[in-house]
A and B are shown apart, each in its own frame.
Chain A
Amino acid sequence: MEINAQGIYYKDLNNIIRKAVGNGEKKFILRNVNGQRYIADGISKKISMEVYGVPGQDLGAFMKGPHVVLHGNAQDGVGNTMDDGKIVVEGMAGDVVGYGMRGGRIHIKGDVGYRVGIHMKSYQDKIPVIVIGGKAGDFLGEYMAGGVIILLGMFSLDATKPIAGIFMGTGMHGGVIYVRGEVDPHQLGFGLIPRELDSKDQKNLKMCLKEYCDDLNIDLRKVLSVPFKKVVPFSHRPYGNMYAY
């Protein structure tokens, strides 16, 4: 199903999509999207959706299954509390990508904003993954409880800025952040240090990056030509003693 979204109010657009999904439609192409919120939110069928333009807030929030490819930039809240499926963004994305994400994958080619991957979590085989090709703002992976964030810093608009802001991984108590190249300890949250990867990490990283590179037509060898560092929790309960002396 192809929809020209130009001038369609977000509620009407989402009603059209949901109705079609309910009728068994499996493939969507959305053209001229500009600012419509909540696209693909809460959809639990394995549909595919190509989006052209700049969708509004919360693209793919709560979704469980769809495969969304965005040929453009995303705004804030991509994959908010997403459960399963995949979102590929060929441009950059705004703040709080993958907030509270609990499954599925988000692959972003360019830069992302602040608080990306905060409160991500995992359970048994549900392990969410966010891969960022550009650079990230402050608070990447804050309060992270599970899942994987990979930060490449390769496709950024700004060559001069550091690969991430400050407070990375503050309060994290699960999951892992892989950073291509070096990350300065001052950028990390309290108690965290950059660590070397072990063979299990290498395998995990390579597997995640292979899919990312296939999706975005990137040379995997080039991505892997620079060693990575990882950031993991220093404690399962980083604030366990905060109020208990």
Chain B
Amino acid sequence: MGSWNYQKDISGCGLSGIINKNGERIKGDSIICSIACQHDRGNGLGGGFAAYGIYPDFKDYYAIHIMADNLNALHAAEDFLTQTVSIVHQEKIPTRPNKYITDPPILRRYFVEPSKDSGTACRWPGLSDDDYIVRVVMSVNREVSGAYIFSSGKNMGAFKGVGFPEDVADFYRLDEYAGYIWTAHNRFPTNTPGWWGGAHPFTILDWSIVHNGEISSYGINKRYLEMFGYHCTLLTDTEVVAYLLDLLIRKQGLPIEIACKVFAPPFWQEIDRMDEETKKLLTAIRMVYGSAMLNGPFAVLFAYNGGLVGLNDRIKLRPLVAATKGDTVYMASEESAIRAICPDPEKVWAPKAGEPVIATMNKSTSTAKKQARLGPACARAW
């Protein structure tokens, strides 16, 4: 444009998520189209996706995705896996060449279950399967130099890397997958490096999170998590949220609504105006979980096998829009990203700051199973 040559990229990360509450699987093309509509929210230094319902043939096994810098690192991680879990199937994560995706790490996936009953092979006796797998992930990510487990849930997977999300999707051949929940992220890294492990989503078990913003409470959140055996290794603030979800919701049995109030509690001045019972509850949450509160601007989408949740910080410093059509719920940074794949939604709205949009599966087996799983954990926690 003539002499006008203003080269600064003005941007923020982009998010998109879709859930079909009946469990009908949606092809990858949809989420790719939606996140690509927000191309200019990122800068090519990170893109990623989480997909649920993609491994029906191995749905009862934990799907471990590993990225390794080199063969030595991969073999070290594999050695660790063979010592701790039974691998029922393993393969290269399918990829295709994409000219914009350069220097990818070695990518493999393993469908596993804890080696619990085979005597010496059980590294951590007495743990639940989920806790055991969390230990496996933490151990590999901390102890094996150059190898990272970046996905570890059942019947779901994270796919991420350095590049724009549409190129990352092409690289991972996500058009060949179908899932009933998808989330996507277009990254514009600000404070931390744009590397493969630092792309979103961040995951642990079937929890996955994509985030636009900045968790300025990262330090205190990270130290809090260390007390419960979670260790941050991926050099990006968002990682703490994945582990906080696992700790608060799976381990301690908090309902999702309450966990969201931990992350984005109302101001004290708002709490003062609430009825006595709510005031007591929210005061307790702020007192008990002060170290799990997320400070700083954020819009996040997090998912698990039973649903998709969108949440903003309490003063809405990042955008988030939601929409519904039939049994499908959409959430994204921009309304246009939703309309790109659903031109005529029944309802479109901008969620209120600090108030989660929770879309859970209609009475499906996964929800029932999730609740069953929460039961005993809840009893233990309290």
Which interface residue of A35, A53, A95, A161 has the most chain B CB atoms within 10 A? Answer: A35
Measured in the bound complex, the distance between the Cα atoms of B40 and A53 in whole Å is: 19
- Complex interface residues of chain A between 76 and 98 (CB less than 8 A to chain B): 76, 92, 94-95
Which interface residue of B315, B321, B334, B336 has the most chain A CB atoms within 10 A? Answer: B336
Measured in the bound complex, the distance between the Cα atoms of B270 and A179 in whole Å is: 22
Which interface residue of A18, A34, A94, A166 has the most chain B CB atoms within 10 A? Answer: A34
- Beta-carbon contact of B1 and A34 below 8 Å: no
Report chain B residues within 8 Å CB of A103: none
Measured in the bound complex, the distance between the Cα atoms of B40 and A35 in whole Å is: 10
Which interface residue of B40, B316, B321, B335 has the most chain A CB atoms within 10 A? Answer: B335
- Beta-carbon contact of A35 and B319 below 8 Å: no
Report chain B residues within 8 Å CB of A186: 269, 273
Per a CB cutoff under 8 Å, which of A54, A111, A166 touches B335?
A54
- Complex interface residues of chain A between 125 and 169 (CB less than 8 A to chain B): 137-139, 157-158, 161, 165-166
Size band of the interface chain B makes with A: 20 to 34
Q: Does A28 contact B (CB under 8 A)?
A: no
- Beta-carbon contact of B273 and A35 below 8 Å: no
Q: Does B361 contact A (CB under 8 A)?
A: no
Whether A75 contacts B315 in the complex (CB less than 8 A), given A137-B353, A166-B270, comes out as no
- Complex interface residues of chain A between 42 and 72 (CB less than 8 A to chain B): 53-57
A-B contact pairs, 10 of them (CB 8 A): A18-B1, A35-B340, A53-B339, A54-B335, A94-B319, A94-B335, A113-B350, A114-B315, A138-B315, A186-B273
Q: Does B348 contact A (CB under 8 A)?
A: yes
Report chain A residues within 8 Å CB of B335: 54, 73, 75, 94
Whether A111 contacts B350 in the complex (CB less than 8 A), given A35-B340, A54-B339, A73-B335, comes out as yes
Report chain A residues within 8 Å CB of B100: none
Q: Which residue of A lies closest to B4 (CB)?
A: A42
Report chain B residues within 8 Å CB of A158: 349
Measured in the bound complex, the distance between the Cα atoms of B336 and A166 in whole Å is: 28
Query: Chain A contact residues: over half helix, strand or loop, or mixed?
Result: loop
Measured in the bound complex, the distance between the Cα atoms of B334 and A55 in whole Å is: 10
Given contacts A34-B339, A137-B352, 12 further A-B contacts (CB under 8 A): A10-B40, A35-B339, A35-B340, A37-B40, A73-B335, A94-B319, A94-B350, A95-B316, A95-B319, A138-B315, A157-B349, A161-B352
Report chain B residues within 8 Å CB of A139: 315
Q: Does A4 contact B (CB under 8 A)?
A: no
Q: Does B37 contact A (CB under 8 A)?
A: yes
Q: Does B181 contact A (CB under 8 A)?
A: no
Per a CB cutoff under 8 Å, which of B315, B319, B352 touches A76?
B319
- Complex interface residues of chain B between 257 and 280 (CB less than 8 A to chain A): 269-270, 273
Report chain B residues within 8 Å CB of A114: 315-316, 353
- Beta-carbon contact of B316 and A138 below 8 Å: yes
User: How far, in Å, is A156 (CB) from chain B's closest CB?
Assistant: 10
Q: Which residue of A lies closest to B338 (CB)?
A: A54
Measured in the bound complex, the distance between the Cα atoms of B315 and A18 in whole Å is: 36
Measured in the bound complex, the distance between the Cα atoms of B315 and A54 in whole Å is: 24
Whether A137 contacts B316 in the complex (CB less than 8 A), given A56-B336, A57-B334, comes out as yes
Enumerate the 10 nearest inter-chain pairs by beta-carbon distance, A residue then B residue, closest first.
A35-B336, A114-B316, A34-B336, A54-B336, A35-B37, A54-B335, A113-B350, A75-B334, A34-B339, A76-B319
Measured in the bound complex, the distance between the Cα atoms of B353 and A139 in whole Å is: 12
Report chain B residues within 8 Å CB of A18: 1
Q: Does B38 contact A (CB under 8 A)?
A: yes
- Beta-carbon contact of A113 and B316 below 8 Å: yes
Measured in the bound complex, the distance between the Cα atoms of B354 and A166 in whole Å is: 13
Which interface residue of B321, B349, B350 has the most chain A CB atoms within 10 A? Answer: B350
Report chain B residues within 8 Å CB of A113: 316, 319, 350
- Complex interface residues of chain B between 33 and 89 (CB less than 8 A to chain A): 37-38, 40
Whether A73 contacts B1 in the complex (CB less than 8 A), given A35-B334, A57-B334, A114-B353, comes out as no
Measured in the bound complex, the distance between the Cα atoms of B128 and A167 in whole Å is: 47
Measured in the bound complex, the distance between the Cα atoms of B353 and A76 in whole Å is: 15
Measured in the bound complex, the distance between the Cα atoms of B315 and A137 in whole Å is: 9
Q: Does A235 contact B (CB under 8 A)?
A: no
Report chain B residues within 8 Å CB of A55: 336
Report chain B residues within 8 Å CB of A94: 319, 321, 335, 350
Contact with B along A23-40 (1 / 0, CB 8 A): 000000000001101000
Measured in the bound complex, the distance between the Cα atoms of B270 and A18 in whole Å is: 48
Report chain A residues within 8 Å CB of B273: 186
Measured in the bound complex, the distance between the Cα atoms of B350 and A154 in whole Å is: 17
- Beta-carbon contact of A34 and B37 below 8 Å: yes
Report chain A residues within 8 Å CB of B270: 166
Measured in the bound complex, the distance between the Cα atoms of B350 and A157 in whole Å is: 10
User: How far, in Å, is B287 (CB) from chain A's closest CB?
Assistant: 23
Report chain A residues within 8 Å CB of B336: 34-35, 54-56, 75
Report chain A residues within 8 Å CB of B339: 34-35, 53-54
Q: Does A15 contact B (CB under 8 A)?
A: yes
Measured in the bound complex, the distance between the Cα atoms of B340 and A111 in whole Å is: 22
User: How far, in Å, is B315 (CB) from chain A's closest CB?
Assistant: 6
